[in-house]
Structure 1
């Protein structure tokens, strides 16, 4: 399940061993295409990777903190620290590989 981040609060995500942060916006076409892919991925990797959705319009401080310039942007956290980032739509297989490379 993809969890929604609100109030610029990443405390839950930072407690995860591995967390994938999806920086997106409702008006973003590629973000809308990526959402169902992330939902599938979150179900497949349940218990291994926490998947979080962050609307950049509602959480501007987080977007600034993680230097998000383009969306969709995916940031991978390991033990609360940023270990990887990728920008743009990607198929599920590519995202799985991105996560595996940083485990």
Structure 2
């Protein structure tokens, strides 16, 4: 079962401070964002508790988007123990995302 959850400016810091977290900065009107969503659901189902996947709607949560310098969407950020390890901009196939995440497991 997919465990991808929405976070807001108010909940972002608390929800992403521990462990391995993949943050998806997206918007409902963004085509490539809609393409990456099912890929993230698959990764969430496969990795379960090993990685937490959260989504930040850039239209509704501009403070967090600005804090991370998000200029294009989708932007995916991999954080481990509250430190940004990698930033991926644009749609990527599942295999590329799996490889990126595997480096930090």
TM-score by length of 2: 0.92
Match among 8, 12, 15 for residue 15 of structure 2: 12
Aligned to 2:77: 75
Number of equivalences: 102
Consecutive unaligned residues in structure 2, runs of 5 or more: none
SS of corresponding position for 1:75: strand
Describe how 1:50-69 pairs up with structure 2 within 5 A: 50-69=52-71
Q: Which runs of 4+ in 1 moved over 3 A?
A: none
Contact 1:42 1:51 in 2 (8 A): yes
Alpha-carbon distance in structure 1 between the residues aligned to 2:35 and 2:104: 24
TM-score by length of 1: 0.94
Residue 94 in structure 1 maps to residue 102 in structure 2: no
Alpha-carbon distance in structure 2 between the residues aligned to 1:94 and 1:9: 28
CA RMSD of the aligned region, Å? 1.0
